[in-house]
């Protein structure tokens, strides 16, 4: 599948705004892969499909999480988390993407995970710093990402957790575990 074919598949699943975000993530992920020695083609494909399931109904996502025996604690946490693991499942089923590294990068693009692969990190950070992201902190992480992908990842996770804390939102345990893993690794 070439880039235009992948983009055409994804465009049908997304709003215009989310499609523009996806293009931004794609361009940023390719830049990061180039800078940090990642696989450019896998970065492109994972970025294009990362938000594939973003607009599926809660009912459909809940059903897939249950039937496919995904982490049951997802269901007591925010539905915002669901499109990542559900996306990995649907991208394989509906778009025929089989590559396990690409599917993992999609699966973990919202929560992160312990011991993230280079591709996981590229997609997580690209999602946070693509040019359309104008929230406080994005510019700082963009700057860090020019020289240190791990520090950029840590800063974007930290900002996400702080953002949730300020909104009195619960933090998904895997989000915290991913962050803790990076902090321990630094020591
Ligand atoms: P997007 O799909 O491009 O908007 O970005 P993400 O997939 O990274 O994140 C989707 C949403 O999930 C964002 O609003 C995050 O703040 C939120 N999110 C990320 N981690 C957690 C978490 O641990 N708990 C909760 N409640 N929300 C989270
Ligand atoms: Fe997402
Ligand atoms: Fe993200
Ligand atoms: Fe995204």
Distance separating alpha carbons of residues 169 and 160, to the nearest angstrom: 11
Judge whether 179 and 157 are in contact, CB under 8 Å.
Answer: yes
Closest CA to ligand 1's atom 14: 80
Closest CA to ligand 1's atom 3: 127
Domain count within the chain: 1
For residue 156, the CA-to-ligand 1 centroid distance in Å is: 11
Ligand 1 in contact with 169 (CB < 6 A)?
yes
For the cut 90, the answer to whether the pLDDT of residue 111 exceeds it is yes
pLDDT one-digit tens code per residue, 133-168: 998 899 999 999 999 999 999 999 999 999 999 999
> Which pLDDT value is given to residue 37?
98
Q: What is the CATH number of the domain that holds 181?
A: 1.10.3210.10
> Which pLDDT value is given to residue 176?
97
Ligand 1 in contact with 127 (CB < 6 A)?
yes
Ligand 1 in contact with 20 (CB < 6 A)?
no
- The ligand that comes nearest to the alpha carbon of residue 25 is 4
For residue 53, the CA-to-ligand 2 centroid distance in Å is: 8
How sure is the predictor about 186, in pLDDT bands with cuts at 50, 70 and 90? Answer: confident
Q: What is the mean pLDDT of residues 85-104?
A: 98
For the cut 80, the answer to whether the pLDDT of residue 58 exceeds it is yes
pLDDT one-digit tens code per residue, 17-55: 999 999 999 999 999 999 999 999 999 999 999 999 999
> Which pLDDT value is given to residue 141?
98
Ligand 1 in contact with 28 (CB < 6 A)?
no
The share of the chain scoring above pLDDT 70, in percent, equals 100
Q: What is the mean pLDDT of residues 127-131?
A: 98
Query: DSSP letters of 82-146?
Result: THHHHHHHHHHHHH----HHHHHHHHTTTT--TT--HHHHHHHHHHHHSTT--STTHHHHHHHHT
> Which pLDDT value is given to residue 142?
98
Q: Among residues 84, 63, 62, 57, which one has the least CA distance to residue 75?
A: 62
> Which pLDDT value is given to residue 113?
98
How sure is the predictor about 80, in pLDDT bands with cuts at 50, 70 and 90? Answer: very high
For the cut 80, the answer to whether the pLDDT of residue 187 exceeds it is no
Find the domain containing 181 and state its range: 3-186
For the cut 90, the answer to whether the pLDDT of residue 173 exceeds it is yes
Ligand 1 pocket mutation pick from 160, 166, 174 by most atoms within 8 angstroms of CB: 160
């Amino acid at each position: 599948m070439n880039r235009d074919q992948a983009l055409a598949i994804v465009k049908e699943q997304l709003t215009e705004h989310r499609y523009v975000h996806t293009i931004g993530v794609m361009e940023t992920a390719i830049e990061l892969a180039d800078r940090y020695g990642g696989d450019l083609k896998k970065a492109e494909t994972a970025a294009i499909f990362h938000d594939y399931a973003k607009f599926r109904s809660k009912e459909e996502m809940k059903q897939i999480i249950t039937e496919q025996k995904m982490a049951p604690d997802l269901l007591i946490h925010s539905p915002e988390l669901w499109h990542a693991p559900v996306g990995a499942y649907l991208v394989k089923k509906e778009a025929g993407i089989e590559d396990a590294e690409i599917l993992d990068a999609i699966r973990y693009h919202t929560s992160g995970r312990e011991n993230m692969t280079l591709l996981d990190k590229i997609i997580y950070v690209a999602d946070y710093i693509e040019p359309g992201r104008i929230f406080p902190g994005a510019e700082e992480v963009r700057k860090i990402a020019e020289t240190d992908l791990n520090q950029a990842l840590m800063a974007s996770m930290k900002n996400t957790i702080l953002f949730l804390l300020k909104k009195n939102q619960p933090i998904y345990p895997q989000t915290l575990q991913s962050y803790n893993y990076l902090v321990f690794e630094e020591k």
